[in-house]
């Protein structure tokens, strides 16, 4: 049996809109992945800990609060510190265009704003774990 891709979908920060995260979680499920959905208001520490216990391949984060440039480096740093630098991280939500190259430089494998087709997200996740 082919090993299913395991993805953690989380919403760090304080905004309460998880519609996008749920749509992405559902799309990844329909693409045959095992999606661990952790819900709203997760701290970077909670996300890193869940990623470790669940031994995921990919972490998807939804951020609409504008705090991505603070949250992302922290989450990536925690993942690295616990020996999970192989975990790929992608991002959705409201991210200004000028931040995208900076995020890519940090190691984020994709930034998916509103209107992105779920098929694009699925393909990007598959590509990232190859």
Partner 1 sequence: MSGNDFGRRILAGERLALARLLTRLENGDPEGQAALAELYPHTGRAHLVGITGPPGVGKSTLVNSLARHYRQPPDGAEPRTVAVVAVDPTSPFTGGAILGDRIRMRDLAGDPGVFIRSMATRGALGGLARATTQVIQALDAAGYKAILVETVGAGQSEVDIASAAHTTVVVEAPGMGDEVQAIKAGLLEIADVLVVNKSDLPGAENTLRALRGMLGLAHPVRRGANSRSAGLAASDAPIWITPILQPVAGSGGGIPALLEAIDSHRVYLAATGELAGKERARAAAELEAGLREALMHGWRAAAPDGAFEAALERVLAREIAPLAAVKMLVAGEFARRRP
Interface residues toward partner 1, by CB under 8 A: 1, 3-4, 6, 25-26, 28-39, 42-43, 45-46, 49-50, 52-55, 82-84
Alpha helices in 1-130 (DSSP H): 19-30, 44-53, 68-81, 100-106, 118-128
Q: Which residue, 29 or 66, has its beta carbon nearer to partner 1?
A: 29
What is the C-alpha to C-alpha distance for residues 85 and 82, in angstroms, rounded to an integer? 8
The nearest distance, CB 50 to partner 1, in angstroms, is 6
Residue whose C-alpha is closest to residue 66's, from 99, 110, 29, 107: 99
CB of 29 to partner 1, least distance (A): 4
Between CA 82 and CA 97 the distance in angstroms is 30
Least gap, CB of 109 to partner 1 (angstroms): 20
| Dihedral sign for Cα atoms in the order 45, 50, 55, 61 | negative
Output the CA torsion sign for 128, 2, 25, 42: negative
Minimum CB distance to partner 1 smaller for 79 or for 103: 79
> Least distance in Å: CB of 49 to partner 1?
6
Which of 28, 108 has the CB closer to partner 1?
28
Indicate the residue among 14 and 98 with the shorter CB distance to partner 1.
Answer: 14
């Amino acid at each position: 049996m082919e090993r299913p891709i395991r993805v953690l979908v989380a919403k760090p920060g304080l905004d309460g809109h998880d519609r996008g995260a749920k749509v992405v979680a559902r799309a990844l499920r329909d693409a045959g992945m095992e999606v661990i959905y952790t819900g709203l208001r997760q701290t970077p520490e909670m996300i890193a800990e869940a990623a470790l216990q669940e031994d995921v391949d990919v972490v998807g984060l939804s951020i609409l609060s504008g705090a991505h440039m603070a949250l992302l480096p922290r989450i990536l740093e925690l993942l690295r510190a616990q020996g999970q630098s192989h975990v790929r991280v992608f991002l959705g939500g409201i991210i200004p265009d000028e931040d995208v190259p900076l995020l890519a430089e940090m190691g984020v494998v994709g930034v998916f704003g509103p209107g992105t087709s779920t098929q694009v997200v699925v393909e990007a996740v598959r590509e990232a774990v190859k």
